[in-house]
Amino acid sequence: MVIKPRTYPEKLLQLEALQRRLPSTHPQMGAITTEFSQYDAGWYGEKSMDYYYRNLDFLEPLFLHNVRLFYRGYYFQIDTLLLTPYFFLILEIKNITGKLIFDHEHHQVLRRSHEVEEVFPDPVVQADQQRSFLSDWLHERFTDFPYLYNIAVIANTNAILTTASQSHPNHQRVIRPTALRENVAAFHKNSKKRYPRSMIRNIAQTIYENSTPEQYCAINKYKISKRDIKEGVLCTECKNTTMMWRHGRWKCPRCEKVSRHAHRMALRDYAKLVSPEIRSKECRVYLHLPTTDSAKRLLRKMKLPHNGGTKGRRYDLSSLG
């Protein structure tokens, strides 16, 4: 049962919007594209694990995805937390390809791919830190709870996993997704106590209620001027071509693609990059509509939440996703 579902990250939504709305020659485009690719790979890796979670139904676990908790002045984040009456399990999920050499002695992972060598933090060390933080966080709120395990999962099936020392105790704590059920079954077998399921639900609910999403602002991070943001409704086919509003619909002058709802994506980009609210005058300018009345009719038809009277009314765009 999923208590806290995995949702498409706000960071990816903002980075996607920037890639659509910035000129391809913008000096920050390379860094934006790189961050998007890295974070998107992580998201895909976490999502790909859902297939393997289905094999754990024999324990009826409770899942909490993308948990972010505040503890002693800092936030710590957990990719996936699995709660059962017998044990808790932290999963640190990595979607890395290439040949991976796990050097647990020096707390690092070496990746060799296309004759390039890179260094990454040891995911087992990251999972150990999360376990320590979560254990302390739980002890402040509950007198007792199941034993807390943690493992690192390399979600990319094309990765080649090797280790600098097979005798190191952390060697067994890096697994492929196919080994998840086997490890979970072992944790279950080694458990010495069964806790009431009502207690586990209470702990899960407490974690859910205290989990806080990351406040991310791509505009500020990359110091993007709002003047650099491209206006208009971008064609869903041509991507960069601005569509024109004609007779109650959008039409691309290049490929002649027609849409009645293409403005929704444009307004979502506005919400992510400019402001979560918009006035009809601002909407007219941004969407390149012929009149303010056209903008008013379009916004009213979308049935968006709004504040203020008829004059100066601000429409809330946050519901667009």
Helix, strand, coil percentages in the chain from 3-state DSSP, rounded to 5: 40, 25, 35
Q: Where are the domains of the chain?
A: 2-210, 231-320
Task: Decide: 266 and 287 in contact? Cβ < 8 Å.
Answer: yes
pLDDT tens track for 45-99: 999 999 999 999 999 999 999 999 999 999 999 999 999 999 999 999 999 888 8
Q: How many CB atoms lie within 10 A of CB 247?
A: 5
Q: What local confidence, expressed as pLDDT, does residue 279 receive?
A: 96
Span 111-155, pLDDT tens digits: 887 778 889 899 999 999 999 999 999 999 999 999 999 999 999
Q: Would you say residue 229 has pLDDT above 90? A: yes
Residue-level pLDDT at 284: 96
Q: Tell me if 78 sits within 8 A of 131, measured CB to CB.
A: no
Determine the average pLDDT of the residues in 94-108.
Answer: 87
Helices 10-21 & 263-273, crossing angle to 10 degrees?
Answer: 110
Tracing tokens 């002045």 back to the chain, one arrives at 73
CB-based contact 77:66 (threshold 8 Å): yes
pLDDT at 309: 77
Instruction: Report the alpha-carbon distance of residue 235 to residue 112 in Å, rounded.
Output: 40
Looking at the predicted structure, is the pLDDT value of residue 167 above 70? no
